[in-house]
């Protein structure tokens, strides 16, 4: 079965043994490109989810301000700040991954070459 996939998914350029490109194998990127595009959609969903979490943390932070016990309030504010920073870092990572995927899609398209 693996040989069927390879035979079906590859094309050898240059049929002449004297051709300088006789050993180049071109793989079609359509399947990989579709997977990359789908992954970009997942990145967008993840980005939106992280933004929603950050908005929720902001709401919780506003509620926390009304807590009378200073020690409890400061502990919660510290925890909220830590979570917000963690989400900000993850958001940056998702953006970086999405940029790399976008560049990969562009470079694999015939117009991007």
Examine the pLDDT at 71 and tell me if it is beyond 50. yes
Helix axes 70-108, 30-64, angle to 10 degrees: 160
Higher pLDDT, 4 or 90: 90
Mean pLDDT of the chain: 81
Decide if 54 contacts 87 (C-beta within 8 A): yes
* Its pTM surpasses 0.75: no
Give me the percent of the chain exceeding a pLDDT of 70: 70
Rg (CA), the chain: 25
pLDDT class for 61, splitting at 50, 70, 90? very high
Decide if 26 contacts 13 (C-beta within 8 A): yes
pLDDT class for 108, splitting at 50, 70, 90? confident
């Amino acid at each position: 079965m693996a040989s069927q996939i390879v035979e079906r998914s590859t094309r050898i350029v240059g049929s002449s043994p004297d051709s300088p490109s006789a050993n180049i194998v071109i793989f079609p990127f359509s399947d990989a490109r579709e997977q990359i595009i789908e992954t970009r959609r997942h990145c967008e969903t993840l980005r939106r989810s992280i933004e929603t979490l950050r908005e929720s943390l902001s709401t919780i932070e506003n509620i926390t301000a009304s807590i009378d016990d200073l020690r409890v309030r400061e502990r919660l504010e510290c925890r909220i700040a830590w979570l917000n920073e963690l989400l900000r870092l993850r958001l940056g990572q998702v953006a970086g991954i999405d940029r790399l995927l976008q560049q990969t899609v562009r470079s694999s398209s015939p117009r991007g070459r």
